[in-house]
């Protein structure tokens, strides 16, 4: 054994570590950890794959706006081919819609036959780590993480890595996303506002007037009563996607949160649930109740799901909806075919309290955790997949490589097809700052590959729009308008985020750890009660029934959840 390891070290020293498309230095010495995995026969430490084929079980949960481009499929796409090139052979256990992600995974785990590599929601992570579903990756991470991956994990000062450490062991790779991406914003049909000669609503009173006008003043000018103001996702009314109702409450300083358990610092300085601000919640509910009575909130919002919100907005029926930064992408793309002049703009949530602008809640930047099954014989495969990801996505070598792995909406389906996707933290905010500056100055020398490629699409769309020659079937043009609504429109979604940042209108969550076991045990009951109460009040129950609800909410585990959050905040000096 000893001689063998010595031989390995020598060989590595002689050959140097030369790996495809990667610039890792040979700084990490082979530690004493047993590699013990199949395919580790050759001398050098392969950070990206294996020398012999290793099969891993995987499960796909794809978002509903995902499309395959260029004839790609689950078994044949740039990512799968890259994995295969590195002798990582994915064996697909299931392919489901994103909405089935957690239940499918939970069922698979229950059956004992579950994916080797899987992503979990932060709130579910602790129970997966505690119950031995997720494997310990401490040693594998130490040994196989590329320098780029290490830099990624250190990018937030190691906070995210700390949160996936349970009893001193690391059980997963945190996705350090960008909190900005999920801040709820208002999306509105600017072309309708212009047609009716209305201003962008800045207060909730103005929003009410605009919603009414969108419903009864024929904003699309076709002479038919086929439009309305606001759409909400009534089936899943507190969610992080399009049709989220949180925004309405944010206007009145109330923050129930998309998991129904957002913690904020209350007026008395103590940690509390963002929905305990009864005054604010009631004001938001009264606002929605009025809109519902008026018809400006879709009468049939109760049976609308996230898919339906896309459809309502994308078919030109609804003029206002709330959602995260990407909320305008698909509707803009869909509307382009029938209306080349469509213009979807975003703004921070209007102000309900005349306090000079509503405030948005920033939730933890960790949007998910990638885990490896405790039963997987090659736990280091998770690290290798992550190395591949940060290499191809974080620092693509060429525009072609960027297009292949990030996706170009024409030939390559991109990152959504990958098994593991770690975003560059706050990447989109950076994209906004650089791309909007470059569009204005015409100087693209500061842009990276991704930004150049996106800006090219946006310019193509803008040029075509100017020339009046929009071809909605052209993926460059539709990709252009999608990206324009996010990055380059002076009234786009990141411009709205920028405004929130500049005006210091973002407040931090008072609880930044993952949910404790008791929290996550009670969360479904609490959320059910919350959404039920919200929908009932919007459709006609007395606004004051919110007080009764709050009493039950405290009794059903809410009180202990708040106490646990307070305990955490005290311990962590918040």
Partner 1 sequence: MPMGIRSMKQKYRNKTDQLFFHGMLLLPVVLLFIYHILPIPAGILMAFQNFQPMKGFLGSDFIGFQNFRKLALLPDTFPALRNTLMIAVWKVIGNLVIPVTFALLLNEVRVTWFKRTVQTITYLPYFLSWVILSGIMIQFLSPGSAATSPGLFNALLMKLHIIENPVYFLGTNGTFRQTMVISDIWKNFGYNTIIYLAALTGIDPTLYEAAAVDGAGRIKQTLHITLPGIAPFIALMTILAIGNILNAGFDQIFNLYNPAVYASGDIIDTLVYRLGLVNRQYSLSAAVGLLRSVVSCILVLTGYKLADQFAGYKIW
Q: Kindly list the residues in this chain that would bind partner 1 in the complex (CB under 8 A).
A: 102-103, 106-107, 109-110, 112, 124, 127, 131-133, 215-216, 225-229, 234-235, 237, 295-296, 298-303, 312, 317-318, 374, 520-521, 523-525, 528-529, 531-532, 534-536, 539, 552, 556
Contact 313, 228 (CB under 8 A): no
In whole angstroms, how close is the CB of 453 to partner 1 at the nearest point?
37
Q: ∠ CA 230-231-232 to the nearest 5 degrees?
A: 125
In whole angstroms, how close is the CB of 135 to partner 1 at the nearest point?
10
Concatenated DSSP letters for 53-94? -EEEEEEEEE-TT----TT-BTTBSHHHHHHHHTTEEEEEEE
Closer Cβ to partner 1, 73 or 552, answer by number? 552
Closer Cβ to partner 1, 51 or 102, answer by number? 102
In whole angstroms, how close is the CB of 266 to partner 1 at the nearest point?
26
In whole angstroms, how close is the CB of 540 to partner 1 at the nearest point?
10
Closer Cβ to partner 1, 204 or 526, answer by number? 526
Residue 267's CB is within 10 A of a number of other CB atoms, namely 8
Site of tokens 């929905």: 275
For residue 220, which of 339, 345, 347 has the smallest C-alpha distance? 339
Closer Cβ to partner 1, 147 or 541, answer by number? 541
In whole angstroms, how close is the CB of 275 to partner 1 at the nearest point?
15
Closer Cβ to partner 1, 22 or 285, answer by number? 285
In whole angstroms, how close is the CB of 556 to partner 1 at the nearest point?
6
In whole angstroms, how close is the CB of 195 to partner 1 at the nearest point?
16
Give the span between the Cα atoms of 253 and 112, in whole angstroms: 45
In whole angstroms, how close is the CB of 393 to partner 1 at the nearest point?
31
Q: ∠ CA 151-155-158 to the nearest 5 degrees?
A: 100
Site of tokens 């040693």: 139
Closer Cβ to partner 1, 169 or 270, answer by number? 169
DSSP 484: I
Closer Cβ to partner 1, 59 or 348, answer by number? 59
For residue 30, which of 48, 44, 49 has the smallest C-alpha distance? 44
Closer Cβ to partner 1, 109 or 488, answer by number? 109
Concatenated DSSP letters for 284-296? HHHHHHHHHHHT-
Give the span between the Cα atoms of 431 and 444, in whole angstroms: 12
State the virtual CA torsion across 8, 14, 18, 23 in degrees, nearest 10.
100
């Amino acid at each position: 054994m000893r001689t063998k390891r010595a031989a390995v070290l020598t060989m590595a020293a002689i050959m140097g570590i030369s790996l495809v498309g990667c610039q890792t230095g040979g700084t990490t010495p082979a530690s004493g950890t047993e590699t013990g995995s199949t395919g580790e026969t050759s001398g050098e430490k392969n950070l990206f794959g294996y020398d012999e084929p290793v099969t891993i079980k995987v499960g796909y949960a794809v978002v509903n706006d995902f499309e395959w481009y260029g004839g790609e499929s689950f078994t044949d796409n740039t990512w799968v081919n890259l994995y295969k090139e590195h002798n990582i052979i994915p064996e697909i256990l299931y392919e489901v819609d994103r909405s089935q992600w957690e239940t499918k995974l939970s069922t698979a785990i229950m059956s004992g036959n579950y994916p080797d590599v899987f992503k979990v929601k932060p709130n579910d992570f602790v129970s997966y780590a505690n119950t031995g579903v997720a494997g310990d990756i401490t040693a594998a991470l130490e040994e196989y993480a590329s320098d780029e991956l290490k830099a990624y994990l250190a990018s937030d000062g190691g906070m995210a890595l700390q949160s996936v450490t349970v009893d001193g062991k690391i059980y997963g790779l945190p996705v350090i996303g960008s909190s900005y991406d999920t801040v709820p914003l208002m999306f509105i049909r600017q072309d309708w506002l212009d047609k009716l000669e209305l201003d962008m609503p800045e207060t909730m009173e103005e929003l009410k007037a605009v919603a009414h006008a969108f419903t009864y003043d024929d904003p699309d000018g076709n002479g038919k009563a086929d439009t309305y103001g606001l759409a909400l996702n009534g089936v899943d009314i507190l969610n992080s996607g399009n049709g989220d109702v949180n925004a309405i409450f944010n206007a009145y300083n109330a923050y129930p949160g998309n998991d129904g358990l957002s913690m904020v610092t209350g007026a008395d300085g103590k940690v509390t649930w963002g929905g305990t601000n009864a005054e604010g919640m009631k004001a938001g509910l009264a606002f929605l109740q009025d809109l519902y009575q008026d018809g400006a909130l879709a009468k049939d919002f109760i049976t609308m799901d996230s898919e339906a919100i896309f459809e309502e907005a994308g078919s030109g029926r609804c003029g206002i909806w709330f959602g995260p930064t990407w909320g305008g992408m698909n509707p803009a793309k869909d509307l382009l075919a029938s209306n080349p002049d469509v213009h979807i703009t975003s703004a921070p949530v209007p102000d309900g309290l005349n306090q000079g602008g509503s405030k948005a809640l920033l939730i933890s930047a960790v949007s998910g955790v990638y885990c490896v099954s405790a039963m997987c014989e090659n736990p280091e495969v998770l690290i290798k997949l992550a190395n591949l990801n940060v290499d191809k996505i974080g620092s693509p070598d060429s525009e072609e490589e960027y297009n292949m792995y990030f996706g170009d909406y024409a030939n390559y389906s991109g990152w959504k097809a990958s098994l593991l996707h770690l975003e560059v933290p706050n990447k989109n905010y950076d994209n906004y700052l650089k791309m909007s500056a470059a569009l204005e100055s015409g100087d693209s020398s500061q842009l990276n590959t991704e930004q150049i490629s996106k800006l090219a699409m946006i310019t193509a769309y803008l040029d075509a729009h100017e020339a009046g020659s929009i071809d909605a079937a052209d993926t460059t043009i539709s990709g252009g308008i999608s990206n324009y609504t996010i990055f380059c429109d002076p009234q786009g979604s990141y411009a709205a985020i920028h405004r929130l940042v500049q005006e210091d209108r973002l407040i931090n969550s008072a609880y930044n750890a993952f949910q404790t076991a008791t929290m996550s045990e009670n969360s479904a009951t609490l959320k059910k009660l919350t959404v039920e109460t919200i929908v009932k009040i919007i459709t006609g129950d007395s606004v004051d029934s919110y007080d009764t609800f709050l009493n039950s909410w405290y009794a059903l585990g809410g009180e202990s959840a708040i106490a646990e959050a307070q305990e955490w905040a005290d311990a962590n000096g918040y």
